[in-house]
Amino acid sequence: MVRLDAGWTDLGAWEAVWALSPKDDSGNAHAGDVLVADSHNSLVHSTSRLVTLVGVENLIVVETADAVLVANKSSSQNVKFIVNTLNRHKRDEHAYHRKVRRPWGWYDVIDEGENFKVKRIQVKSKASLSLQKHNHRSEHWVVVKGKAEVTCGDKKLILTENQSTNIPQGELHRLANPASSPLEIIEISSGSYLGEDDIVRFEDDYGRAAK
């Protein structure tokens, strides 16, 4: 056993992130596409768009594709009250995010509204989604990059760029990438319920199939 005096800080609050981050001459720490003018001692974190600060100080500004947080730096630990409010109003922004990682790759919810949802899906080389069905929605897949192996009922087909197929509601189906490069598709879902829990898995490479 060797004694280690490395220091410790709780990164459970954005104020701690500001304290440990490199700063400009005005004490601002920023990451992403950020422009700052006449502002001091603030943290700005941008992930998907331009964020600008003008004439402010001691702020925490965190922009993601899901939501934007603006808080006084001294109150950054009180974000938990917002999470509690989201729970109380049965909102799901704190639990479900626009871009979601999966063992086979990821999906990004581009747009959604009443009875429809549009996703951009990327599948890793040689990876496969589960053999599944949906009880409340149908899907339309368009390949935009790579090669897709699609199982739909008792049929199996290969799709390449600009080709598409329909997955009827309730039909057993699977999406796989047989190639050595990533597969990207656009998925358009339509139906009475589009929640992520409307998936019944029958076979899965990652142990998620129903037992």
pLDDT in tens, 169-201: 999 999 999 999 999 999 999 999 999 899 999
> What's the farthest any 2 CA atoms get from each other in the chain?
65
Does position 12 have pLDDT exceeding 80, yes or no?
A: no
Q: Give the burial string for 154-188 (b: 16+ CB within 10 Å, else e).
A: eeeeebeeeeebebebebebbbbbebeeebbbebb
Nearest Cα residue to 123 out of 141, 140, 139, 103: 103
Q: Is residue 20 part of a domain?
A: yes
**Domain end call among 88, 121, 138:** 88
Number of domains in the chain: 2
pTM, to two decimals? 0.72
Q: Provide the domain limits for residue 38.
A: 14-88
